[in-house]
Amino acid sequence: MTASTVKAPVCVLGLGLIGGSVLRAAAAAGREAFGYNRSADGVNAAVADGFDATTELETALSRAAQTGALIVIAVPVPALPMLLAPIGRLAPECPLTDVTSVKGAVLEAITTAGLQARFVGGHPMAGTAHSGWPAGHAELFQGAPWVISVDDHVDPQVFSTVLQLILDCGSVAVPARSEEHDAAAAAISHLPHLLAEALAVTAADVPLAFALAAGSFRDGTRVAGTAPDLVRAMCEANWQRLLPALDRAIALLADARDSLSASDSVAELVNHGHAARTRYDNFPRSEIVTVVVGADDWRRELAAAGRAGGVIRSALPTRDSR
Amino acid sequence: MTASTVKAPVCVLGLGLIGGSVLRAAAAAGREAFGYNRSADGVNAAVADGFDATTELETALSRAAQTGALIVIAVPVPALPMLLAPIGRLAPECPLTDVTSVKGAVLEAITTAGLQARFVGGHPMAGTAHSGWPAGHAELFQGAPWVISVDDHVDPQVFSTVLQLILDCGSVAVPARSEEHDAAAAAISHLPHLLAEALAVTAADVPLAFALAAGSFRDGTRVAGTAPDLVRAMCEANWQRLLPALDRAIALLADARDSLSASDSVAELVNHGHAARTRYDNFPRSEIVTVVVGADDWRRELAAAGRAGGVIRSALPTRDSR
């Protein structure tokens, strides 16, 4: 591991909630950090808060190329394509990551653009119901899981560079293959959004419901406060993985409905749900310390460890540092 | 309003999360408060914490009758019948309320037992995922809505007595008819429980899901941590009101599923869900101050005010106090 790799500057493209928080967290960790945002609003807000930001994509990318910066793509999936050609033209050698909630679709776009050799995808599992630069803060990722891709193409040096950013942001890294990430994200992030929307719509039609709504409704609909465009972007980009999760949830609810109607009982769903939540509460976390990045089979080992609850809390040795 | 009515002692039957918290809150408000619990565990825990509790139902009810206590029924719906005959035998003149999440089924049981003349139902919209005496605390109801029934049979004096307890517990009272309460509770409390259970079960089958689960999954499944017996008791006792809410949610999800499959879009559900949640965030609250309890049409006026977002924050004048 070379010092220049670890301390590469960070160039964040997109200064919304997540990108804006990455910029702040990287700067707070003592790293050179600068950002680009398409709209002047985000840039002005970032500059007013003392950060280094521009609306000029070419300026940001040229600076990234000159300084060997790690480029962090932090735009919604639909906005991705318009960034990739300029990156390929102006900063093709820079290590590249993203913070998007869907990994398969991003990897596909990156591969189509010919940028996969320097790309290691990422996804911080953190957020709020709010969006935009003002909603972000440097502590957003503290203690949160942050997925780092270990797909077959992943380069050890780029992996270590991205891992260092994740750790600098205060997160724990969870290694995962893109398609496994997407199936999991469908179940634990995209499906909850749709359930929250359905709950909000159902209650809105019942007189007195909002007058009485308290904890379980507020929690159950919190993510329905997320901007619709963001919810659509992540659900629709991951529709192939979301469909089976949605089908499963509908089937469980339909079975409970039939049982409630036929015998007044929701025992099966309630007992299974409680058991599943209890398993989640007791899900074992362990620290991954023995894998050497770049050694034989390292990606497969990391994927298996991540699946079993393993997280990375400090830099791993890499083969060329031994 | 007579002083003796306002400061009646409080006799709590059932010292679980809610009943135990009512006992603590009533005592903290300076009222004489004593409790009964069937199991010695709850009683021993309450006594160890310095409260007045017994496993002897007859002892508690005789004391309630002698002191003119307000009796608070705080047991799950299935345990209700075994309390009503002793109440009718030993304390038939005591004002009576409950803190159960289903009002129609309770009112039916109370009416069958011939106790409706002294009964005004209640339901504090507060709780946690934990249960039992140790989970309770005197502050549980602070600022929470607490439904008070304004069904046709409701007596003005008993209403004012129950209202005083609600205010002493730090809650705001929301007047509502039992059947309207139950339809609303199905949408904002019972349905969220079933959605949480379905989400937990769905995610449990997906490798990596628990490893990545963060905010939206944790919030979306929080109430799946509630003891299954309690969830079943409230859902099943309210099954007639829960069915249409569940049907509606399933239909919304099925439509989103079809749209996602056919055109990759979840726009309709997401837009409607966000609009509904926004309406909830902006739901107007007002204070009910002009209704005189016991005046012509007072129950109907209170039901309409509650439906419109009105809450009672301090004692209302009653007809015989004018």
In-domain check, residue A4? no
Residue A126 is predicted with a pLDDT of: 82
Q: What are phi and psi of A314, to 5 degrees?
A: -150, 160
Count of domains observed in chain B:
2
Residue with tokens 């002793």: B86
A209 shares its domain with A102 = no
Contact across the interface for B252 and A201, Cβ inside 8 Å: yes
A142 shares its domain with A18 = yes
Give the C-alpha separation, B172 to A244, whole Å.
43
SS3 letters across chain A = CCHHHHCCCEEEECCCHHHHHHHHHHHHCCCCEEEECCCHHHHHHHHHCCCCEECCHHHHHHHHHHHCCEEEECCCHHHCHHHHHHHHHHCCCCCEEECCCCHHHHHHHHHHCCCHHHECCEEECCCCCCCCHHHCCCCCCCCCEEEEECCCCCCHHHHHHHHHHHHHCCCEEEEECHHHHHHHHHHHHHHHHHHHHHHHHHHHCCCCHHHHCCHHHHHHHHHHHCCHHHHHHHHHHCHHHHHHHHHHHHHHHHHHHHHHHHHCCCHHHHHHHHHHHHHHHCCCCEECCCCCECCCCHHHHHHHHHHCCEEECCCCCEHHHC
Which residues of A are less than 8 Å from B240 in CB distance?
A: none
SS3 at position B148: strand
In-domain check, residue B4? no
Contact across the interface for A184 and B197, Cβ inside 8 Å: no
Residue A128 is predicted with a pLDDT of: 66
Do the Cβ atoms of A257 and A119 come closer than 8 Å? no
In-domain check, residue B209? yes
Which residues of chain B register pLDDT less than 50? 1-5, 321-322
Interface test with A, best of B221, B268, B287 (most A CBs within 10 A): B221
Q: Which residue of A has its CA nearest to B231?
A: A270
Residue B267 is predicted with a pLDDT of: 97
Residue B128 is predicted with a pLDDT of: 66
Contact across the interface for B186 and A206, Cβ inside 8 Å: yes
In-domain check, residue B91? yes
Q: Which residue of A has its CA nearest to B283?
A: A210
Contact across the interface for A125 and B276, Cβ inside 8 Å: no
Contact across the interface for A212 and B181, Cβ inside 8 Å: yes
Residue A6 is predicted with a pLDDT of: 52
B145 shares its domain with B68 = yes
Q: Which amino acid, one-letter code, is at A7? A: K
**CA A129, A134, A139: angle at the middle one, nearest 5?**
75
B160 shares its domain with B194 = no
**What is the per-residue pLDDT across B263-295, written as a single tens digit (0 to 9) for each?**
999 999 999 999 999 999 999 889 998 899 999
A97 shares its domain with A217 = no
Q: What range defines the domain where residue B39 resides? A: 9-176+285-321
First CA to last CA distance, chain A: 9
Distance from CA of B217 to the nearest CA of A (A): 5
Distance from CA of A155 to the nearest CA of B (A): 23
What CATH number is given to the structural domain containing B142?
3.40.50.720
Contact across the interface for B306 and A216, Cβ inside 8 Å: no
Contact across the interface for B214 and A267, Cβ inside 8 Å: no
CB neighbour burial string for B231-255, b if at least 16 within 10 angstroms, e if fewer: bbbbbbbbbbbbeebbebbbebbbe
Distance from CA of B3 to the nearest CA of A (A): 30
Residue in B203, B246, B274 nearest the CB of A253: B246
Q: Is the pLDDT of residue A4 over 60?
A: no
Contact across the interface for B250 and A257, Cβ inside 8 Å: yes
Contact across the interface for A278 and B210, Cβ inside 8 Å: no
Residue A129 is predicted with a pLDDT of: 63
Could you tell me which residue, A54 or B212, shows the higher pLDDT? A54
Tokens representing A13 are: 């493209």
**What is the per-residue pLDDT across A201-253, written as a single tens digit (0 to 9) for each?**
999 999 899 998 878 899 999 999 999 998 998 899 899 999 999 999 999 99
A172 shares its domain with A262 = no
Contact across the interface for A208 and B180, Cβ inside 8 Å: yes
Q: Is the pLDDT of residue A200 over 50?
A: yes
Which residues of B are less than 8 Å from A206 in CB distance?
A: 183-184, 186-188, 245
Distance from CA of A317 to the nearest CA of B (A): 23
Distance from CA of B293 to the nearest CA of A (A): 21
Give the C-alpha separation, A196 to A189, whole Å.
11
Residue B2 is predicted with a pLDDT of: 44
B242 shares its domain with B171 = no
In-domain check, residue A48? yes
Residue B135 DSSP code: G
A217 shares its domain with A162 = no
B59 shares its domain with B115 = yes
B124 shares its domain with B148 = yes
Residue in A222, A224, A236 nearest the CB of B265: A236
Distance from CA of B89 to the nearest CA of A (A): 31
Q: Which residue of B has its CA nearest to A226?
A: B274
Residue in B126, B212, B281 nearest the CB of A215: B126
Which residues of B are less than 8 Å from A281 in CB distance?
A: 225
In-domain check, residue A255? yes
What CATH number is given to the structural domain containing A256?
1.10.3660.10
First CA to last CA distance, chain B: 9
Q: Express as a percent the part of chain A with pLDDT over 90.
A: 85
Could you tell me which residue, A321 or B21, shows the higher pLDDT? B21
Quote the ipTM score.
Answer: 0.83
B272 shares its domain with B313 = no
In-domain check, residue B3? no
In-domain check, residue B1? no
Could you tell me which residue, A129 or B175, shows the higher pLDDT? B175
Tokens representing B116 are: 């409706």
Can you list the pairs that A62-67 forms with residues at least 24 positions away whose Cβ atoms lie under 8 Å?
A62/A90, A62/A91, A63/A11, A63/A34, A64/A9, A64/A11, A64/A90, A64/A91, A64/A94, A65/A90, A65/A91, A65/A93, A65/A94, A67/A8, A67/A9, A67/A32
A17 shares its domain with A61 = yes
Residue in A246, A265, A270 nearest the CB of B257: A246
**What is the per-residue pLDDT across A133-176, written as a single tens digit (0 to 9) for each?**
999 999 999 999 999 999 999 999 999 999 999 999 999 999 99
Which residues of B are less than 8 Å from A248 in CB distance?
A: 201-202, 205
